[in-house]
Amino acid sequence: MAAASPSGVMVDSCVLLDVITADPQWESLSAEHLARCLAAGPVAINAVIYGEVAFAYERIEAVDEALPRHIYTYRPIPREAAFLAARAHGAYRSRSGTRQMILPDFLIGAHAVIERFGLLTRDAHRYQQAFPGLQLITPARSGRPGGAPTDSSHLLNGCQFERHCSRAVEASMSRTTI
């Protein structure tokens, strides 16, 4: 598969919820990284991300106000991403993964891979394991227990893209046939 240019960033619901709920541990770092990504180019969300954020609201209008279409690009989940997510979830379960309800995370990661997005998330370990090479942008709390990984391969300066995204597509697609 030929290398492709990344087309923007998908933002995971955990980062959005950090900002929306004013999480005392993560709001500042998540807001900073989200602002950098918004300034750098398109920031995408999908129905899974929308649904996870919607849990914090009583009305759909409030969700739409929190995630306005003039700021976030709404992307439908392609069937290829759904298939890739199912394969990644199956591989997780075969490695003795015990969490039953993480398919939404795999849908988000696979969608980012298929559409060649980077992924702004605090859940770097799971995404890295399921989608090697997926470009992860991770708000990190340096020197604090429980912070995000500090390995430089996971942390990027804002939303500058390199070749990670195309490698993620190649690695993920080489393991399965769509």
Confidence of residue 154 (pLDDT cuts 50, 70, 90): very low
Question: Residue 134: pLDDT above 60?
Answer: yes
Please tell me the predicted confidence (pLDDT) of residue 100.
Answer: 58
The candidate with the shortest Cα–Cα distance to 74, out of 10, 31, 144, is 10
Mean of pLDDT values over 134-160: 50
Helix H segments across the chain?
Answer: 13-20, 27-40, 47-54, 60-66, 79-94, 103-114, 124-130, 164-174
Please tell me the predicted confidence (pLDDT) of residue 98.
Answer: 66
The candidate with the shortest Cα–Cα distance to 46, out of 128, 119, 122, 123, is 119
From the candidate CATH numbers 1.10.274.10, 3.40.30.10, 3.40.50.620, 3.40.50.1010, the one assigned to the domain spanning 9-174: 3.40.50.1010
Question: Residue 177: pLDDT above 50?
Answer: no
Q: What is the pLDDT of residues 84-124, one digit of tens each?
A: 999 998 888 888 766 655 789 999 999 999 999 999 999 88
Please state the pTM of the whole predicted model: 0.75
Question: Residue 175: pLDDT above 60?
Answer: no
Question: Residue 170: pLDDT above 70?
Answer: no
Question: Residue 78: pLDDT above 50?
Answer: yes
**What are residue 155's phi and psi, to 5 degrees?**
-105, 135
Which DSSP letter does residue 111 get?
H
Q: What is the pLDDT of residues 19-72, one digit of tens each?
A: 999 999 999 999 999 999 999 988 999 999 999 999 999 999 999 999 999 999
Please tell me the predicted confidence (pLDDT) of residue 2.
Answer: 37
Question: Residue 147: pLDDT above 50?
Answer: no
Please tell me the predicted confidence (pLDDT) of residue 6.
Answer: 56
